[in-house]
A and B are shown apart, each in its own frame.
Chain A
């Protein structure tokens, strides 16, 4: 087993990976940008080394700096987390070249699955269904238009090198096609440096159902069941759960087999996720494969009782999977809500500032993964996800009730969050009934209940909690990050005037 592992990431995933490393007796080594010097992922590590700069492009995305730090500090493996360099074949190759183990699949596998066009060709060859479409190489817009007619409308234009919805267009008729291709190409070039696009039949009201897979370096591959991630906004997942309310045991076994076949087709090792679209008719189609640990991996950990990071480390150091498919059980129901610093009422715009209050809920079957603590700054430089709130219970109804309870007790002040929105979402009858699809949020138009006049109790709490008279006339009129920072360390933010005698 490794002795010193560097975590090439930040935030909650770096905190989570460090915990498993330390529990296994491995030294957890963090890296940090300048604004992250005092961040939770640094203070929870055993050692930390600076990546000078602020923006991701000059810090967490710098392969040269990371390899340099790893070499100087005798690191024997690097865990990439998710995002940043986790699906960058060049980074995996740079690690291999430097004699450092990259905790993930081989560089060549990352590269092949990273190209969405090639990935589809590979899995199709082993009989995994893909969405009808066209995915040839670089082609003129005219030739694409002919293919579009063959597939039929509505269809989707997608960037070959893309993800996250960039370079994606929905075209409902032939007249819109040419403009849409040109615009998708421009966006794809700006975002990924490649204007290659592909076409896909548009599946109405599909679910997003993905399978966690694990392979070792001895040819064994298993799946750790599904996660339903249909509740998305702007192609970003908001709620994930397992089991999916849509899967029967038969369908689960069919999709799981397909996921394992897809992984075996590329000689996959370590943790990966095979994403499927599931139509209303029960037909499923391969979407893409993520060659890394997913944000929503705790959902799988809750229903299997496994530590996926530990498995990753065991496999990366040459170990064999210690269980077979038949030995795995999907127990109870787990659900994750992503807590974002964002203003859902204003189009999910990110919100920044200081976490003047941050208290995560606690209780049996409740897990909170976060890279923030009270006093942390939420900056424009990185992802606005504050925390992942995960619950486990016997069944879906119980999980939803537990999630509601936990959301009600999640205290965040200083930045705007989606907690109120999530509460409204969980109360939605369609959500409760498990009738989900990827356009669910747009269709249901869930609105946070902002409440009417504040109840008397909130006025009393405000009066007790503040030292009102002392502040009138010397305050500023809005919450701003810089002011908030001063205020947080200042003596007058949180007054104690009404101390109990």
Chain B
């Protein structure tokens, strides 16, 4: 028997219990207390197919840490594995507005302002380049640059905090 709790991208958590039955290749999947008989046709290295209510379901699953990506019968899905009583936050965090974050991995091409400089709403602050494409990151409101965390020419990963912003509201 194997137990796993899976959180879907819509936030819903489903506890899943897989029970092996006597018949080789046949398992019982208990999801949220509801039982489904599954006939495993093939399974190796996260790749396989099973039969559910007479239908063939081919699939492919990969995971890195808690993150699971699956292709299941013509669709991609992403999940997270969660522990008992645990729930994960979705990607966007509340502090996002006070930081400019790299929306893609790439090179910092230009930094228009220095630490302490004031900016107006929608003023361009950083220009990034990735795969021959330029992207301008602008200020969400008026304020000053609190901290610069990148330099021109630097290669940054997705989600890298590039600049911290002050909006003069004491935060």
Q: Is B60 positioned at the interface, with any CB of A under 8 Å from its CB?
A: yes
Q: How far is the CB of B20 from chain A (nearest CB, A)?
A: 9
B31 touches A498 (CB 8 A): no
Q: Is B50 positioned at the interface, with any CB of A under 8 Å from its CB?
A: yes
Interface size on B, residues (CB 8 A): 71
Which residues of chain A come closer than 8 Å to B133, judged between CB atoms?
Answer: 234, 350
A464 touches B61 (CB 8 A): yes
Partner of B77 from A356, A462, A473, A500 at Cβ < 8 Å: A462
Minimal Cβ-Cβ distance residue in A for B106: A380
Within 8 A of A (CB), among B39-84: 40-48, 50, 52, 55, 57, 59-77, 79, 81-83
- The size bracket of the interface on A is 35 or more
Q: A479–B65 Cα gap in the complex (Å)?
A: 8
Q: A495–B68 Cα gap in the complex (Å)?
A: 12
B50 touches A460 (CB 8 A): yes
Minimal Cβ-Cβ distance residue in A for B16: A463
Over the window 200-244 of chain A, the binary record of Cβ atoms lying under 8 Å from chain B Cβ atoms (1 yes, 0 no) is: 000000000000000000000000000000000010000000000
Main secondary structure of the interface of A (DSSP, over half): loop
Minimal Cβ-Cβ distance residue in B for A350: B131
Q: How far is the CB of A492 from chain B (nearest CB, A)?
A: 9
Once A494-B46, A496-B45 are accepted as A-B contacts, the answer to whether A411 and B60 lie under 8 Å apart by CB is yes
Q: Is B159 positioned at the interface, with any CB of A under 8 Å from its CB?
A: yes
Q: Is B118 positioned at the interface, with any CB of A under 8 Å from its CB?
A: no
Name which of A28-36, A106-114, A365-373, A447-455 contacts chain B.
Answer: A447-455
Q: A474–B166 Cα gap in the complex (Å)?
A: 35
Q: Is B6 positioned at the interface, with any CB of A under 8 Å from its CB?
A: yes
Partner of B40 from A411, A462, A498 at Cβ < 8 Å: A498
Which residues of chain A come closer than 8 Å to B44, judged between CB atoms?
Answer: 496, 499
A497 touches B2 (CB 8 A): yes
A475 touches B73 (CB 8 A): no
Q: Is B157 positioned at the interface, with any CB of A under 8 Å from its CB?
A: yes
Q: A465–B67 Cα gap in the complex (Å)?
A: 12
Within 8 A of A (CB), among B89-112: 91, 103-107
Q: How far is the CB of A233 from chain B (nearest CB, A)?
A: 11
Which residues of chain B come closer than 8 Å to A496, judged between CB atoms?
Answer: 43-45
Number of A-B contacts (CB under 8 A): 223
Within 8 A of A (CB), among B1-49: 2-6, 8-10, 12, 14, 16, 18, 24-25, 27, 29, 31, 36, 38, 40-48
Minimal Cβ-Cβ distance residue in B for A191: B134
Q: A466–B69 Cα gap in the complex (Å)?
A: 10
Of A164, A408, A460, A481, chain B has the most CB atoms within 10 Å of the CB of A460
A451 touches B12 (CB 8 A): no
Minimal Cβ-Cβ distance residue in B for A348: B133
B4 touches A468 (CB 8 A): yes
Q: Is B122 positioned at the interface, with any CB of A under 8 Å from its CB?
A: no
Q: A498–B59 Cα gap in the complex (Å)?
A: 14
Main secondary structure of the interface of B (DSSP, over half): strand
Within 8 A of B (CB), among A447-493: 450-466, 468-469, 471-481, 483-484, 487, 493
Q: Is A413 positioned at the interface, with any CB of B under 8 Å from its CB?
A: yes
Which residues of chain B come closer than 8 Å to A476, judged between CB atoms?
Answer: 64-67
Q: A456–B40 Cα gap in the complex (Å)?
A: 15
Q: A453–B6 Cα gap in the complex (Å)?
A: 13
B42 touches A500 (CB 8 A): yes
Which residues of chain B come closer than 8 Å to A460, judged between CB atoms?
Answer: 16, 29, 31, 36, 38, 50, 52, 57
Within 8 A of B (CB), among A398-423: 408-409, 411-414, 419-420
B62 touches A498 (CB 8 A): no
Minimal Cβ-Cβ distance residue in A for B3: A469
Over the window 113-153 of chain B, the binary record of Cβ atoms lying under 8 Å from chain A Cβ atoms (1 yes, 0 no) is: 00000000000000000111101000000000000000000
Given contacts A381-B131, A496-B44, 8 further A-B contacts (CB under 8 A): A346-B103, A380-B131, A457-B57, A465-B61, A468-B81, A472-B82, A487-B65, A498-B27
Closest 10 CB pairs of A and B: A475-B65, A465-B61, A468-B4, A461-B59, A494-B46, A408-B74, A356-B62, A476-B65, A501-B24, A475-B66
